């Protein structure tokens, strides 16, 4: 695979980790260890409110009590280890699955989860993401860096290693969830892409956008109706490529629903390239182990 082909493939597949979510889970069916849930326990939901902004202790998407762990919060307890979460995935029209596994603290207050995704079309990835907490006086959860091996059509694209010049906040502190309204992000993804036949080469990608809180949404998890926290992330990615090769502009929207004690339960990600090429990755939680929903 030439560098030009690698860069074009990178432009299409990049962002599933950079724009997407970090999450954990527990078996959807029950609290015992008798086995995971089946597809008929999949999550359903209906919007019930927008822009909730109070901070009481009722059933709204917020809480007065801070997460007691070293990192994370009630809406994404990233410092819990040993969890596994399984998603049903549809990537560019092709069905598949994604499995995520909690590793715990990696180094220097960075918490890691591993992710493996595969589809019937042969597209997929395998790698890990690091998350940080409460950085620079800004409370919340942040994407720090990630390493992923991508495949397209069953063929390896390469290994992508990425750091963010400014960590991207993907969840606010639980004390202000539902009251933030929105927040912006603007940073550079410093990426090294390694391929088997062309070696490694650097590429920088400018990323900017905004998260908007959409308030409360009711979802059903394993037959239990619970309140979820809905976010919409609208972003633009822009790169000059390498020596003018593989330059691209990409715009996308990611809609997520988070459940207290469990983390992400659904995500819809759609994007469009500057030439009109479109792509999407949607995922819905199917089963999980290692955490419990907090009513």
Where does residue 253 rank: exposed (0-12), middle (13-18), buried (19+ CB within 10 A)?
middle
Work out how many domains the chain is built from and give that number: 1
Q: What is the pLDDT of residues 59-114, one digit of tens each?
A: 344 445 667 778 878 899 888 899 999 999 999 999 999 999 999 999 999 999 99
Query: Is residue 294 domain-resident?
Result: no
Q: Which long-range contacts (CB under 8 A, 24 or more apart) does 249-255 make?
A: 249/273, 249/274, 250/11, 250/14, 250/15, 250/274, 252/15, 252/19, 254/19, 254/20, 254/21, 255/230, 255/231
> Considering Cα of 77, then 81, then 86, then 92, what sign does the dihedral take?
positive
Query: Is residue 225 domain-resident?
Result: yes
User: Would you say 27 and 290 are in contact if contact means Cβ atoms under 8 Å apart?
Assistant: no
pLDDT, position 57 = 38
Q: What is the pLDDT of residues 109-140, one digit of tens each?
A: 999 999 999 999 999 999 999 999 999 889 99
Q: What is the domain range of residue 229? A: 3-28+46-289
Mean pLDDT of the chain: 81
Query: Is residue 36 domain-resident?
Result: no
The terminus-to-terminus CA distance of the chain in angstroms comes to 50
Rounded to 5°, angle at Cα 61 from 60 and 66: 110
| CATH number of the domain enclosing 177 | 2.40.230
């Amino acid at each position: 695979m030439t560098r030009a082909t690698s860069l074009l493939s990178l432009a299409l597949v990049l962002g599933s980790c950079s724009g997407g979510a970090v999450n954990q889970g527990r078996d959807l069916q029950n609290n015992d260890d008798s086995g995971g849930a089946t597809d008929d326990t999949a999550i359903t939901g209906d919007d019930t409110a927008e822009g909730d902004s109070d901070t009481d202790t009722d059933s709204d998407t917020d809480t007065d009590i801070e997460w007691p762990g070293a990192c994370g919060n009630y809406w994404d307890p990233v410092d819990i280890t040993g969890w596994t979460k399984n998603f049903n995935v549809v990537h560019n029209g092709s069905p598949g699955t994604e499995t995520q596994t909690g590793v715990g603290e990696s180094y220097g207050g960075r918490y890691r989860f591993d992710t493996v995704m595969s589809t019937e079309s042969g597209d997929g990835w395998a790698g890990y993401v690091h998350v940080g907490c409460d950085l620079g006086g800004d409370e919340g959860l942040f994407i720090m860096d990630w390493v992923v091996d991508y495949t397209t059509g069953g063929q390896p694209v390469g290994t992508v290693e990425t750091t963010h010049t400014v960590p991207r906040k993907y969840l606010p502190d639980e004390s202000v969830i539902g009251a933030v309204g929105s927040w912006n992000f603007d940073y550079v993804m410093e990426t090294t892409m390694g391929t088997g036949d062309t070696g490694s080469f650097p590429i920088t990608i400018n990323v900017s956008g905004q998260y908007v809180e959409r308030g409360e949404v009711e979802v059903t998890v394993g037959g239990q109706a619970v309140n979820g926290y809905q976010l919409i992330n609208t972003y633009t990615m822009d790169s000059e490529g390498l020596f003018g090769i593989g330059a691209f502009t990409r715009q996308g929207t990611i809609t997520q629903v988070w459940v207290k004690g469990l983390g992400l339960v659904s995500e819809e990600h759609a994007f469009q390239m500057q030439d009109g090429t479109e792509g999407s990755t949607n995922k819905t939680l199917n089963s999980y182990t290692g955490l419990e929903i907090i009513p």
